[in-house]
């Protein structure tokens, strides 16, 4: 579907289409909507009939979804297949004497335990996410039982009467019944930045071809730019146009998904090579192809860190909970990964680098003298402007609080009632208000100096009008440039007599320049320190602002931001495709940008290989927030902006972001520990199994033992989110991909295989023959079974000891336990894990899965082998870090 093109049968609900052509009184009558709004009974009836105002994407937050995900996944499915095959071979096809449910029971118990552990962790993560999300839930004004009340947007039903204002996000698909200078942006649906004026009259018959042509409909997700709207909800949730767009169509998968897919591809490549080898070798040497198939399936599970989603959720949930204590709400838990890998942060100037309190310093005529008329016209423009409120309008309106000025401005309003308006937008860069002025009407215009002056044909000084002249713009800059260089923001004020009582964009030509407004926006005291901290974390700062270049440069220079390379929006548009990535990469300050140009800068940085965050709070920042890898806003931002952000700051301060980045990197580092250490250790085990499958007359470990070892080890790894992370690890952005995973696996995996083979040799040629009284081939069937049990138990213990202890060795580039101590939970869980697993071999539970008690001599050998293994890995780790300059 082309951008902006409507497929009426799929996108706009037929119910909404029908009433777009219907009179308002007919709509109210057919939906039984009284002047009191819906009653509670009508609300419940409508909700049961038409559903809740929740998009399908929110299903991932339900308990049922998490239960299904905990018990239905590749690991669970393989366990279920093994259970079914074991049931067929050990129970259905076995004789009455040899029937045995032990293996089936153990596998089903593992299935239940793994599902419950994952469900517990997922519910814990859900609890954290729900608690934080409730703090910034989207709200809507609705008429219920004769009163206007504020409710969660999710509580709206078809038939509700709702009202929305500038800065709001339209909460459902709505047929408008009353509008007052209502302007909306439908960019979330169409990708176009055009501002549309809405009306409440029925549409004339005829087919519409774009969303813009439905003038009396407000679609869910649209942003209210200016004015007031009221209407009746006709579609909610999945029935809305917005709900009909899947996120897959609207937006490419985020960096988190791309990284996870990259890791999955590496693991699949290893499995695709090794699993067939294990199957063929086992089947050919043992002669039992069913057992070989079961064993190969178990090996496939063994190579996969199957609890990876759970460990990721635990790490990210812990990180988001920690950020919640630091005045930061993480709406999208995957954004924690974005914080960990973010290497560029784009910020708007106002409120981030400067304070939110902007002061009006000067109001002056065209020659720079103080002018009450300029202030009066600017006051009327700001007073009547219904667009999204901004700091500049607020600073102008504060003038009415000046001593002796209150009555003056009240009288001014009474003498100049409003007739019409064109609200501010970032293409025109100005706002226009039409008011009565005695016997005539005048158009009052306020906006960017260049945008206003280009529309002026004359100037006025002390009541005398003159032509603008060819050099008019340069004369203007003679007055304002000095103020701009001092870091002041300057607006131009112009007017134009107009005989009409309504206006169009074409009327904003032939204006008369009256004067200027100068505002001072002081840099924050904490901004310079915060920027230095972010740069120490190797996060580059890019300033993307709509302000004039000279203002932005002045502020950035005071804060120590490099201003050698700057670009304006106009200069950006002139760059060729080849020049764009090079210039954007080098530039630190981008000024005079439209919202569309901010998105262009972000996308170019992303194409250059950066993970980009964007911090903003204005409606003009919304497209950039949505396009960034990590969209960041503040709790005082408009609902539409907060809805689009991944992270909400309760305090607009870059120092808060520094803490968020560190928490993100800690969470990221702990996830990397689990993936790399587990995958490389499992890879080493699989290599050992390939060797054993070729040379041993039996399986080195049963399918159940291999799965149990893997499950128990992964369960221990759930403590990793609580591990300490070295400060040096958090200094650099971390990459989330499989690019280094394959290298890590190939390097450290074979080292464990080397010691596995040594253990095989000791067990097969020394320990087992010594205990059983001879080599395997010379023993009877009963002694052979004992031989196999001893061998499998020996390797089970060696695999478990090395896997658990290697966690301590590879969790840090430093010397473990001495230079870098693990957290107390990690130390306690891994120690108890080794003790428990070792004790398991001496219990009846261990005997059920084929494990048996080993003599003390084996444990002496085990300690020697493990120490030798750890020593070799320590040496290899030093060489690896020296060569690749990183570990995890």
**Could you write out the DSSP letters of every residue in 124-183?**
HHHHHHHHHHGGG--EEEEEETTEEEEEEGGG--TT-EEEEETT-B--SEEEEEEEEEEE
Q: How far apart are CA 739 and CA 675, in angstroms?
A: 13
**Among candidate residues 145, 225, 210, 211, the one with its CA nearest the CA of residue 179:** 225
Structure-block tokens of residue 192: 């176009």
Integer CA distances (angstroms), 789 to 137, 784, 848, 851, in order: 58, 9, 11, 6
Integer CA distances (angstroms), 49 to 42, 45, 157, 159, 563, in order: 11, 6, 10, 11, 59
348: annotated active-site residue: yes
Q: What string of H, E and C letters represents the secondary structure of 496-512?
A: EEECCCCCCHHHCCCEE
Strands 511-520 and 488-498: antiparallel
3-state class (DSSP) for residue 726: coil
Integer CA distances (angstroms), 230 to 139, 142, 242, 297, 387, in order: 15, 9, 19, 61, 16
Q: How far is C-alpha 71 from the chain's CA centre?
A: 26
Structure-block tokens of residue 583: 């210039």
Q: How far apart are CA 663 and CA 2, in angstroms?
A: 41
**Neighbouring-strand partners of residue 495:** 444, 512
Structure-block tokens of residue 692: 């054993």
Count the Cβ atoms, other than its own, within 10 Å of residue 775.
12
Helices of type H across 165-254: 187-190, 241-244, 247-250
Q: How far apart are CA 805 and CA 797, in angstroms?
A: 12
**Among candidate residues 121, 530, 438, the one with its CA nearest the CA of residue 309:** 121
Helices of type H across 814-855: 824-840, 844-848
Q: Is 674 exposed, middle or buried (0-12, 13-18, 19+ CB in 10 A)?
A: buried
Query: To which residue do tokens 């261990």 refer?
Result: 846
Q: How far apart are CA 642 and CA 331, in angstroms?
A: 10
Report DSSP state, residue 99.
-
Candidate list 173, 181, 343, 348, residue with the active-site label = 348
Structure-block tokens of residue 611: 């993970």
3-state class (DSSP) for residue 888: coil
Which H or E run includes 733? none
Q: Which residues contact 124 (CB under 8 A, 6 or more apart)?
A: 314, 317
Task: Write the Ramachandran bin of 221: left for phi over 0, alpha for psi from -120 to 50, otherwise beta.
Answer: left
Active site residues: 348
């Amino acid at each position: 579907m082309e951008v902006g093109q409507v497929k009426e049968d799929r996108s706009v609900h037929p119910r909404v289409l029908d009433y777009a052509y219907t009179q308002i009184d007919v709509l109210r009558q057919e939906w039984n909507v009284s002047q009191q709004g819906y009653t509670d009974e009508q609300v419940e009836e409508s909700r049961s009939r038409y559903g809740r105002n929740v998009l399908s994407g929110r299903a991932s937050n339900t308990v049922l979804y998490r239960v299904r995900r905990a018990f239905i996944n590749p690991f669970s499915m393989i366990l279920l297949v093994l259970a079914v095959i074991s049931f067929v071979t050990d129970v259905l096809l076995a004789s009455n004497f040899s029937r045995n449910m032990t293996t089936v029971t153990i596998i089903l118990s593992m299935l239940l335990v793994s599902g419950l552990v994952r469900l517990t962790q997922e519910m814990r993560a859900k609890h954290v996410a729900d608690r934080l999300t409730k703090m910034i839930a989207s709200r809507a004004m609705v008429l219920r039982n004769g009163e206007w009340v504020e409710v969660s947007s999710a509580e709206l039903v078809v038939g509700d009467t709702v009202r929305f204002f500038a800065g709001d996000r339209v909460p459902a698909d709505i047929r408008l019944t009353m509008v007052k200078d209502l302007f909306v942006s439908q960019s979330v649906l169409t990708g176009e930045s055009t501002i549309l004026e809405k009306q409440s009259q029925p549409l004339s018959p005829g087919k519409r071809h774009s969303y813009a042509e439905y003038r009396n409909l407000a679609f869910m997700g649209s942003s209210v730019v200016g004015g007031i709207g009221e209407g009746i909800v006709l579609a909610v949730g999945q029935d809305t146009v917005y709900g009909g767009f899947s996120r897959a169509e609207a937006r490419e998968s985020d960096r988190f998904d791309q990284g996870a897919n990259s890791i999955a591809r590496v693991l699949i490549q290893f499995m695709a090579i090794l699993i067939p080898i294990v199957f063929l070798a086992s089947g050919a040497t043992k002669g039992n192809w069913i057992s070989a198939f079961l064993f190969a399936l178990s090996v496939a599970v063994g190579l996969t860190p199957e609890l990876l989603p759970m460990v990721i959720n635990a790490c990210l949930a812990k990180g988001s909970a920690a950020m919640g204590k630091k005045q930061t709400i993480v709406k999208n838990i995957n954004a924690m990964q974005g914080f960990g890998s973010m290497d560029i942060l784009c910020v708007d100037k106002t409120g981030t680098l400067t304070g939110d309190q902007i002061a009006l310093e000067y109001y002056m005529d065209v020659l720079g003298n103080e002018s009450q008329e300029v202030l009066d016209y600017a006051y009327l423009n700001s007073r009547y402007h219904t667009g999204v409120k901004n700091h500049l309008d607020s600073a102008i309106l504060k003038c009415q609080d000046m001593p002796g000025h209150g009555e003056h401005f009240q009288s001014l309003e009474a003498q100049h009632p409003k007739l019409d308006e064109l609200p501010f937008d970032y293409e025109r860069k100005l706002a226009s208000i039409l008011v009565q002025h005695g016997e005539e009407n005048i158009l009052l215009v306020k906006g960017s100096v260049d945008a206003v002056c280009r529309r002026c044909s004359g100037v006025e000084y002390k009541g005398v009008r003159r032509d603008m002249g060819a050099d008019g713009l340069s004369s203007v800059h003679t007055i304002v440039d000095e103020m701009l260089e001092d870091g002041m923001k300057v607006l131009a004020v112009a007017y134009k007599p107009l005989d009409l009582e309504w206006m169009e964009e074409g009327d904003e030509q032939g204006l008369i320049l009256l004067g200027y407004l100068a505002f001072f926006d002081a840099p924050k005291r904490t901004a310079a320190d915060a920027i230095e901290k972010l740069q120490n974390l190797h996060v580059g700062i890019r300033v993307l602002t709509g302000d004039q270049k000279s203002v932005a440069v002045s502020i950035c220079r005071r804060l120590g931001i490099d201003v050698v390379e700057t670009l304006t929006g106009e200069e950006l548009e002139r760059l060729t495709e080849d020049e764009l990535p090079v210039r954007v990469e080098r530039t630190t300050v981008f000024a005079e940008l439209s919202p569309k140009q901010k998105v262009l800068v972000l996308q170019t940085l992303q194409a250059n290989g950066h993970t980009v965050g964007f911090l903003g709070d204005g409606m003009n920042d919304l497209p950039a927030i949505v396009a960034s890898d990590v969209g960041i806003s503040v709790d005082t931002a408009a609902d539409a902006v907060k809805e689009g952000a991944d992270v909400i700051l309760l305090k607009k301060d870059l120092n808060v972001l520094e803490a968020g980045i560190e928490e993100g990197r800690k969470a990221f580092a702990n996830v990397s520990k689990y993936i790399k250490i587990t995958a490389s250790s499992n890879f080493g085990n699989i290599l050992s199994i390939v060797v054993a499958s070729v040379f041993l007359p039996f399986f080195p470990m049963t399918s159940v033992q291999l799965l149990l070892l893997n499950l128990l080890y992964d369960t221990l790894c759930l403590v990793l989110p609580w591990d300490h992370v070295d400060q040096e690890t958090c200094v650099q952005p971390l990459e989330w991909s499989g690019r280094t995973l394959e290298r890590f696996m190939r390097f450290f995996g074979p080292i464990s295989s080397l010691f596995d083979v040594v253990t095989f040799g000791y067990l097969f040629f020394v320990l087992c023959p010594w205990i059983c009284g001879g080599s395997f081939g010379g023993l009877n069937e009963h002694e052979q079974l004992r031989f196999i049990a001893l061998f499998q138990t020996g390797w089970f213990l060696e695999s478990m000891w090395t896997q658990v202890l290697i966690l301590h060795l590879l969790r840090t580039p430093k010397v473990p336990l001495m230079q870098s101590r693990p957290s107390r939970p990690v130390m306690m869980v891994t120690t108890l894990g080794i003790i428990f697993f070792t004790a398991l071999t001496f219990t009846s539970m261990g005997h059920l899965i084929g494990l048996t008690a080993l003599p003390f001599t084996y444990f002496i050998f085990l300690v020697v082998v493990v120490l030798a293994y750890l020593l070799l890995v320590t040496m290899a780790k030093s060489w690896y870090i020296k060569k690749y300059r990183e570990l995890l």
